[in-house]
Structure 1
C-alpha cells in the first residue's frame, strides 16, 4: 500500500469513526425531531419544534407532550389519541437508549407491524386501535426478552399468533382481541400471565391447559375454539336415523309454535286501542316496557281522544323544580321519547329519554317510598330542588304516585364513577388516571360539604354515597346523585340497602350519626385509590373474613415497601413524584373510616385536608393528563402501570 493510499484509508476510517460518535451522541431532542419527520398529521406535537429552546425532559419532568422522563432522559413515548399516521421509524427510536415503553394507541398507523426487534430494551408495547394488518413474523418478539405487556387489539392482524410470544419469560399481559388471527393458541406459561384476551378472532382448536384459568370472555368470538374454560372438545360421532327424525319433529313443532305466536300478536296489534284506562296506568305500563330494555313511544298517551277526563290528564303531570324546564317538556313527552334503560338497582330503574328537540333527560323510578304521603314527599322534593352546586346533580322535577315515585334529572354524559373504576377494562377502555381521580375526590368532598350545610336537619345528608351514585359530566367533574332520600325511603328498605346503614355505628348501636356520610366518603376514597370494589375485593385471593379498610391497614403496617401494592395498578399517570400525595390521601381515607365516631374526622376538616393534596409531591399542579381531556374515552389501556414499576 502506498503512503498516499494509506493516508486516504486512515482519513476514511476517521470520518466513519467521527460519524459514529456524532450519531451515537445525538440528543433526545434531535432524535424526537427526526422521528417526527416520519409521522403524518403531527398537529398534536406542536411542542416538538426545533425552535423550542427547552429539552423534552428536565429531570423526571416532561416538558414536551407525549414523552415520559426519568433523570433527564426519555424512557417512554405516550403518543395516544393524536390522529397520527405515517411510519413508526424504529431505526430512529433506537437512539433513545433508555426507551422502555411505547404507546401509539388510537391513531391511524397502518401496514405491517414495525420491526420492533431493534428496540431490545422495551418492556411495554401498546398499539391498540390502529389499522395495522398482515401477518406478524413468528420470531418477531424472540429478542424482546424483557417484555411484560403487549397490546395489539382492535387492528387487522392476520395469520397465526406469533409463537415467540409464548417464550417470553416475563410476559404478564397480552391482548390481541378484535383482529383476524387464525390457527391455534400457543402454549403460554401460566406462571406470569395475568391478563390475556384473544376474543373475536378466527382461532381454532383446543385451548392450552396453561390458559384454562383465564375467564371465558377472553376466548369468545372464536367459534372453533374449545376446551376449558369453554366447552370441552368432543370428537364428532355419527347421528342415528331415529335421532334425525326426532330432531326434525322438534324443529317442525317449534316453527309451528312460532307461527302461532306471530298470528296472535298481529291480531292483538290490529285490535282498536282501549282509551278508557287511566293515564297513570299508561305511564306505569310504558315504564315497564322501558325497564324490559325496549324502546317506547307511548303512542296511546300522545293520541288519546278529546273525551279523556281532566282528572286523568292531571294524574301524569310532572311537578317541576326548575322554572326554566317547565315549558320544555311534560310527562307525555317523556313517554313518547326514545328511551333506553341505563341500569337497575335496589331502589328501582333508571332510564335515558331523548326528547324530540335533542334534550336528553334521565328518569329514575323508585318503588320503596310508598309509606310517605303526597304532602310530605312534595315538601321534601321541593327542599332538594332548591339545591344548586356544581358537584350536586340537580333534580329537575318529580312525579308522585302512592305505588312509585319518579325523579327527573339532567343526563351526565360520562356515566357513573363505578363504571370507570370497575367496568372499563371489560369494555376495552382505560381506567381514570391519578389527576382525574384526585379531581373527582375533591369534587365529591365539596359536594358533600354543601349537602351538610344546606340539609342540616338530616342526620345523613347524603345517606347513600357510593361510586355508582357519583356521576361524571363531559369534563369528568363529579356530580352527587341519590342524596337526601333517607327521610322518604321506607325504613326497612333503607336499613337493608342504603350505604349509611352499613356503617360501623349502625352495626354496633343501631343508629347513624352526623359523621356516617364521612365513613362513606372514606370507603369511596379507598375504592378510588385501590380500584377495588368494597364488597368483593377479596376475589383477588387474599382470603380471610375482612373488609377493605382492614385490608388496607394490614398492608400499611408491613415493614417493607409492599404498601404501594394498595394502589390501583391501572391508574394512568402514576409517577414516583405522586406517591407521597397519594399516600396522604390514602391516610385521609383511613381516618374517615375510623370505627369510633368521636375520633372520626368531620366534613370541614376532611375537605381542608383533601384540598391540600396535590398532583405532585413538590406541589406543582401541572400534570400531563390525557384521560379526561375533552371527555375523551379511549379504547383499551395505556402505559399507566408501566410508568412506575412499583405499582405493577
Structure 2
C-alpha cells in the first residue's frame, strides 16, 4: 500500500513539474516576443517573469487564449502596439492556433509565418504594414483557415502560395495597394474573398464569380463576373494597315456625327430634365409639399401629349435618370409617377435627410428617403451594393424597393408601414405595447440582425444604425428593420456623427466600430424597450447612450430592480422572471469590454428561450410559445470570446 501511495505521489510530482516546465517555457517565449515590440501604453504590463500565462482554460496574462494550460493564441488587438512585427520568437508555442494583432501600429514588412505550421488564423488588419509579400509567404502554414490583412499598405502581386491553403475559409486583403491579377483560388470551403480597393486587374477567377460584386469593387481594371464588366479580348490585327486606317477614319466621322446629334437631343431635353430633378430638392427642414406638387403639375401640363414612358425616356441615356428596382416580384412604376403622387412630408428630417410618403395612382403608398451624404459613391459601387441589399429577404427586414441615383444625392424607396416606428409607440405613453408585444418585437429585431450578420459577413456592422426609430411595426406588431447596410455608402465623417454603431464604447476609445457594435446597439434597444426610457434623452444632454446602461446597472446594484421596468408596460403578471432575464441579456449585449460582450448568436439564442405568453386582452396572435431552458437564478455574466479555430483539444 505504501508503495502504491509513493508511486501516485511520484506521478503527481512529475505531472506538476511537467506543467511548471511547460509554463516556464511559454512565459520565456512570450517575454522574448514582448521584448521585440513597443508597448508604450503598458497594455502587457502583467506579462511578468515567474507567473503563468495560463491557469487551465483561464488566461492569467492579457491577450492570451488558453486551453488546458496551453497557450492557444494571442489576441493583442486595439493596444497601440508598434514596432516591426516578428513571429520567429513564437515558434516554441507548439499549441499556437491563432494570432491577432488587429488595429495596432505595427510597421515594416509581413513577418515570416513559415515556422508556425499549426496556425489556423492570422489577423494583421488595420496596421501600417507595407511592401511586397513574398510569393511563397504561405508555404509551411497549410492549416490556415482565416487570413485578414486588410487596411494596410501592402503592394505588389497577391502571393500565389495562397492557392495551396486547402482549408482556407476567409481571405481579406481589401484596402491595400495590391496589383496584378487575382490568383486562381478554388478551395471548396472558401466563403469570403475581399480584395476591394486595390489596384488589381484582369479577369476574376471563375471560382470567385459566385461572390458579391462589392468584394471586388475599387479595382478599376478588374473584369468578368460578378462585376458585370466585360473583359476585352486581346487580338492581333488581321487586316492590312491601310484598311485599318480607312475603318478608323469612318469610325471617327460617325462618332463626330453622333456627338453632334446627341448634343442637339440633350439640349432639347435639358430644360425638362432640370425641372424634373429640381422637384426633388426639398430643404432639409421640409419644403412645402404644395410647391413640390406645383412644379410637377406644370411640368406635366406642358407635356400633356406625352406618355409617362416617353417622359421618362429623357433620362434613359444615363442610368441615374430613372428608378432602378432591386426588389423582386414588385409592381414597377416610373420616377414621374412618384413626382405626380400625393405627397406628405414625414417628420422633421432624419439623420440622413428628409423623407416623404407618396400615394401612387394605384393606391399603394411608398416612402422616399433622400440621402445627401453619399455623394462620394460612384454609380457602379452604389448599384452593386443596392443590388446586394435588394437580394436580402427576411420577415424582419423592410425590403428596399428601388433607388434613384444622382451624383449630388440618392433616393431610396420602400413600402409605407402604417403603424409607424417602435420609438413612436414606445414613448407616446399610450401603454399599447404590453410585455408580450415588447418581447415579440425584441425577438424579431434580434432575428433580423442575426440574418444581416449572416448575409453580410464582410461588414463589421451590417446594420450600423439600429435604434428604435429605425424599427417599424406592421399590422401584427411584427418588427421590420430599416436603414440597414448603408454604412459602406455613407460618407465616413457623416456616418461617425449620426450612425448609432459609431456611438459604441469602442468608437469612443478607438475611433471605429467593431464586429460587435451592432450587438451593443441591440442591447441599448432592449434596455429602452424594458425601461421605456429613450437613449436619445441622454444624448441630447451631451452624454452617450452608455449612461442608460449605467443607470440600469446602478438600479439593479441597489436591488431596486422593480424600478427599472416601464410603468406603462401592462401584462407583466407572472413574467417577472423572463423580464429579468431579458434585462440581463440587454446588459450582456451592452458590456463595455468588447471581448466580454455577447456575440449575436448567443444573444439570439438566449432571447429565443424566453416565453411569449398569449394575451387574451390583446389583438396580437402569438403562434410561438418558447419554453425557457434558463434557470431564474442562472449565470448571465458575459461569455468570453470564442473562435471556431479552437474546436479541438489542446492536447492534439
RCO higher in structure (CA 8 A, sep ≥6): 1
